[in-house]
Structure 1
């Protein structure tokens, strides 16, 4: 029993670790250090971690407040104290989603629903008319796949392998919810880690603010269990009370399948919004490439020319009178040259072509997808009994659809402006090419030597629109620039109203709509905003869509009500957060038994005892029971009244955790006689079945947990199934995983760890365990040169 856990590794850490969490499906452990870095290590613990995720740039967000794994182990959620949440794909350390909350994060938990996600029942009288796949997402049958952005943009993500599934939602067969607690009394439930489905304001319900220390949701989705720290009274804030609160989630439970369907839709729409934002960034990059190409050629000339006036004025004089200054002539012939002009024209035309492709191929594609999914949500909102009751508003979704339509109209308008600008660009370069050939006394091809009046107008319009009146100087000592702006296209990519509003062409559809009052008031036509830029309409689209999609979070959050609370212990707020001693607090839900457990220390670690509280979530307002656990001798008594562990008759508890649904893990400290400075820690396992129903005492909300005199005090020592003394180690905290059968024990200085295989005996000492009862007759020894010695040892 003593050597039941096999030690695998002992490693040092370069920085103090503040959080540890094992992956539920892989032999990986996530560690967060005090510098805000998150490291992923394998069980074998190589010198270099699998990856290291640096903290975000904001100083207030650098401290990691909590970690949570998605139940399938493919995504890790990292919550920073400043309110920033990052969802990271564990394969490549790729950030798949981010959220920014208005308050500071204090805790997180990611639970998987045990409620069966079966096909919804269809009324018998409608069964013949409603297809069986009514609630399945069939968008892939009607919508083209989004093209990848990686080849034409510096934006990360949306590569060829995962454009549609950039949030890594594919394959989520069970409903899972990320529970996030904050320091101001808010608890948020986020479906699949992407879609906010409930925001519970406990500060408003309790009429005073408080910090959420721990929050979890029962697997049957019926109860939300929250541990909250709040002031004892509003006048005296030095002493805070910690409460265990049980909240009823009936709406969440009764409409879990509708929420799962809606959350998937929400996730896709959020993906499309981010894709659209990346596409607009790519358009801006292509536009800036044009500006950069022109500036690189013209700025040097603008700095060196001796004559007064702008570059645009000199080009206009050259166009109207055919005369040029010596400076301009030298620039055109020597600096720009015929080959340089061809190269510049080709580069600019490529940039314009990229912008057209982005609008035609990407923006139009994602716009149609947004309209499709928002129209489906609009239909869902009209079915009040199933989806409207969740808080979906038909009018809000209609506004979102309308904003997408207006954005698409503006994108089409940009295409027309780009087409006109390309004509002007081509005319300008063709004219400039002829000028350079003539100044260099080169023969001019007959095909381009003649200019029609419309070509002259194109060139004049280009010079008027794209060259400012005066050279731009950001400061008195700054470098003088050419003044090239490209405003006709660039104005659509700014967060301000358009300077050059497109005139309505007589006889066009727009002129027909403006002349018809009934069409202007029709809900079937998308509104047109001629003075707004493309970026302004995108911001309006993003705000309107997210506002419509976030309505269920407020509605469901208001339906979550507290039906009972229990005072756990008191804390002194004058102690600094960094110097507060560890106090174990962990919650765990068991789906099979419909129970939610809470392990809590009412004293600082190491503590003589720990409380285990259980709640029945199957019954509304489920009662709570508690038992006080402590350790004396470890192990079961033998026939001669001896015990397995004679080294210590009393143990203090350093840390505790749920190993799995049936097992508790404890990190103990052997309480010595005070004569020796030696400190020995013990890692042990206890089966929950050792605690019978009669050991639990029903508790009320009227008395604090520590003041309940009738709570049973139960010694777990005789029921320890396996344990191991951790020699030469002063342990601090630990992290365990029953699914992977591993444990990681952190030293008290937070700079060193030991890893254990919890399902294997120590190879070095298991042969010597209980030698008096070991039967060697059936053991087959390998012939490795030491078998005779082994036989002698075993038989002695």
Structure 2
């Protein structure tokens, strides 16, 4: 039966396209090209893309291996050869989350969990809740908004990600996610990762434990059923005895933990996203603190060191300054040093620079570090409370001890931040007194007029200067010119990844004596340890390691909870064969508790295509095992008895590509075969195959009855040509297909991968397929890379 799918656009591309993925909610299509760029185009296909995401900065691994849309269409996942996984906010092309995996990413699929497909028996509930994110016995997800103030923006003081300025508390865009969704990521080497909301790793499992060898290759496909009971994966592997033969295996995994604890996983994932956002905010704040630190004091230390090494007298420099302070007398050498080396302008600049730097750091610590520290303690404390409820959250792998270690690390970091504030306050007080005193001395030596308000020195100011000299000028510089004997700059040591050179000295007090004498207080979780010798930067690394450790256990527990229900070998190829493009598409049928997979066992164009059908919630009945069918395509459509004109359609077709159009249809891209098996004169055909008709009229064969692997041909092929509706396409050599049932659109990529043709799949064609030759020759669409965080207005 012929179907007139209306052609919308046909456009050229300047770079070869490698991947295409339609948005499930908007008329947008994401394209990845061979340069490692990701482009977003509208259905109308303007000359300029909406935005272009530049490839990562790595020297290698820039190739985009997989694309996946979040079910709401607001976030796009991009997986690279290097193992980098980016989540991009579609509105502004902003990278809102980055995940690094150890192996190259080879496939991804983002699935939504539907409440009607999930049972609550394992939770002891009588009925399914309408909203996976709502439960009366769960901690309030918005409790932090009630008890904590909003984090201040960092955009004006640091060059950081712009998304933090929009809404820091929801930087991962999880607040609107009411239903759980999972991003399945397959990696080279057989590693499968499931990320709740694309952010929180829930499962990390090595597939080599489920196959007869440990030599796993690429993941070809991974799909999680909408009821979260079953994962269907296809993975390559080779035998240890003969590595030249590569096999493809279909595995069906049971994931009872995911299905029975979906509500807990949803809440944990949102808590994970908040904690990760706060950690990114803390790192950005420390970056801003480092940028605010001035190194001008080091220049003064070098000048003092040089003078101390070259002065003719053996008297220490601190004694000379003390005599100058007490008696107002200075040696000719010291006078020369003050007037010509330090100078009046140099002292004013030094005073202003140090004050600006220290005040900026002080504001960052008071306003930002304190705020994010409080929020981290709050979120980690709530996470610890969840971990202590073992029946619900503890069994996910949350460990209260590890979370408490992270809380203690954050507490120690906060104590060190308070210590830094004390050092800044003390340094500012002494520096201002010291620089003002030196400025007055220099002006007097230069016989310049001085304002009376500046020249007055009170006893308090003299004490400040004396304390400053005693603290920073006590040690004489060594003969090694690379080391300074002066310690003017004591703030910078807190921002280096090394122990403090001059830790704060504290005298014993009654509180420390009381804590030391009380064993219960010494081991209390309520008292944070003070790391006297460690720097602020070192303790930040400790916080990162502790938080990573606290959040790492759930993915291991989730991986251990998986079990292999079935395993079948699909086909094999020689290691020397080039791994050309082969179709693989998966779809979870929500209303039938089934998971369908279509794939090829030979490179495109293929003689046939295979479809497997798996039950997501099997019982002990033998009827629930995995089934398959091999589909070929002869004459398309059913013959019309009233048709008097003989059809000129081909009697057989090869399969170029296939993709699920949704729950009800399978889209196919076929190639006519004419002239004794030649495809040169045949046209490509765009087809729709009803899944309901297929399952009603075609008998599926249990995989257990298939002898050998599928590529051996020991099975019966079914001609599905009469079941399809089709449209022949003129003037093109087709290559691949991308469809969206929710948006009722299709995109056909030419075989040269540099031209596309778009179709409206739910409308009649209003005119002829082809335009004039001049109109068909369109200019190449330029691919201007937009700046990060901005889009191109169409």
- Fold conserved (TM > 0.5)? yes
Structure with more relative contact order (C-alpha pairs < 8 Å, separation 6 or more): 2
Q: 1:5 to 1:235 in 2, by over 3 A?
A: same
Instruction: For residue 732 of structure 2, give the secondary structure of its aligned residue in structure 1.
Output: coil
Q: 1:318 to 1:405 in 2, by over 3 A?
A: closer
Q: 1:159 to 1:523 in 2, by over 3 A?
A: closer
213-222 or 153-162: bigger deviation: 153-162
CA–CA separation in structure 1 for the residues paired with 2:525 and 2:631 = 66
Q: 1:315 to 1:167 in 2, by over 3 A?
A: farther
The equivalent of 1:636 in structure 2 is: 638
Q: 1:217 to 1:61 in 2, by over 3 A?
A: same
Q: 1:491 aligns with which of 490, 493, 501?
A: 493
Equivalent residues of 2:318, 2:474 under 8 A apart: no
The equivalent of 1:794 in structure 2 is: none
Q: 1:314 to 1:5 in 2, by over 3 A?
A: farther
Equivalent residues of 2:56, 2:62 under 8 A apart: yes
Q: 2:395 aligns with which of 389, 393, 415?
A: 389
Question: For each residue in 1:544-596, what CA deviation from the matched residue of structure 2 results, as whole angstroms up to 9, or x when unmatched?
Answer: 112111211101110101110111111222234xxx32211111112121110
Deviation at 1:154, TM superposition (A): 1.7
Q: 1:457 aligns with which of 430, 453, 466?
A: 466
Find out whether 1:106 has 2:106 as its counterpart.
Answer: yes
Find out whether 1:279 has 2:285 as its counterpart.
Answer: yes
The equivalent of 1:582 in structure 2 is: 581
Find out whether 1:196 has 2:195 as its counterpart.
Answer: no
Q: 1:423 to 1:669 in 2, by over 3 A?
A: same
Equivalent residues of 1:62, 1:81 under 8 A apart: yes
Find out whether 1:415 has 2:421 as its counterpart.
Answer: yes
Q: 1:492 to 1:332 in 2, by over 3 A?
A: closer
The equivalent of 1:185 in structure 2 is: 190
The equivalent of 1:154 in structure 2 is: 159
Q: 1:457 to 1:69 in 2, by over 3 A?
A: same
CA–CA separation in structure 1 for the residues paired with 2:268 and 2:243 = 42
Equivalent residues of 2:611, 2:630 under 8 A apart: yes
Q: 1:739 to 1:575 in 2, by over 3 A?
A: same
Map of 1:306-455 to 2, 5 A cutoff? Answer: 308=310, 317=320, 320-321=323-324, 322-323=330-331, 324=334, 326=336, 328-333=338-343, 336-337=344-345, 341-342=347-348, 344-449=350-455, 450=457, 452=459, 453-455=462-464
When the two structures are superposed, what TM-score results if normalisation uses the length of structure 2? 0.86
Runs of 5+ consecutive residues of structure 1 not aligned to the other structure = 125-129, 474-480, 768-796
The equivalent of 1:781 in structure 2 is: none
Q: 1:667 aligns with which of 659, 666, 669?
A: 669
Find out whether 1:13 has 2:13 as its counterpart.
Answer: yes
Q: 1:305 to 1:53 in 2, by over 3 A?
A: farther
Equivalent residues of 2:151, 2:372 under 8 A apart: yes
Deviation at 1:619, TM superposition (A): 1.7
Count of paired positions: 741
CA–CA separation in structure 1 for the residues paired with 2:656 and 2:429 = 76
Deviation at 1:435, TM superposition (A): 2.5
The equivalent of 2:618 in structure 1 is: 619
Q: 1:159 to 1:256 in 2, by over 3 A?
A: closer
CA–CA separation in structure 1 for the residues paired with 2:308 and 2:531 = 45
Map of 1:285-296 to 2, 5 A cutoff? Answer: 285-287=291-293, 290-291=294-295, 293-294=296-297
Q: 1:75 to 1:471 in 2, by over 3 A?
A: farther
Question: For each residue in 1:135-191, what CA deviation from the matched residue of structure 2 results, as whole angstroms up to 9, or x when unmatched?
Answer: 432221111111111122222235442111111112001101111111111101110
Runs of 5+ consecutive residues of structure 2 not aligned to the other structure = 127-133, 325-329, 771-794
CA–CA separation in structure 2 for the residues paired with 1:643 and 1:256 = 58
CA–CA separation in structure 2 for the residues paired with 1:502 and 1:101 = 41
Q: 1:511 to 1:326 in 2, by over 3 A?
A: same
Equivalent residues of 1:679, 1:730 under 8 A apart: no
Equivalent residues of 1:635, 1:645 under 8 A apart: no
Q: 2:556 aligns with which of 546, 549, 554?
A: 554
Map of 1:65-80 to 2, 5 A cutoff? Answer: 65-80=65-80
Deviation at 1:379, TM superposition (A): 1.6
619-628 or 194-203: bigger deviation: 619-628
CA–CA separation in structure 2 for the residues paired with 1:676 and 1:397 = 63
CA–CA separation in structure 2 for the residues paired with 1:709 and 1:694 = 22
Q: 1:19 to 1:313 in 2, by over 3 A?
A: farther
Q: 1:49 to 1:707 in 2, by over 3 A?
A: closer
CA–CA separation in structure 2 for the residues paired with 1:466 and 1:425 = 18
Question: For each residue in 1:647-678, what CA deviation from the matched residue of structure 2 results, as whole angstroms up to 9, or x when unmatched?
Answer: 31111110000011101111111112157843
CA–CA separation in structure 1 for the residues paired with 2:284 and 2:84 = 20
Instruction: For residue 691 of structure 1, give the secondary structure of its aligned residue in structure 2.
Output: helix
CA RMSD of aligned residues (A): 3.2
Equivalent residues of 2:593, 2:616 under 8 A apart: yes
Q: 1:320 to 1:158 in 2, by over 3 A?
A: farther
CA–CA separation in structure 2 for the residues paired with 1:317 and 1:398 = 53
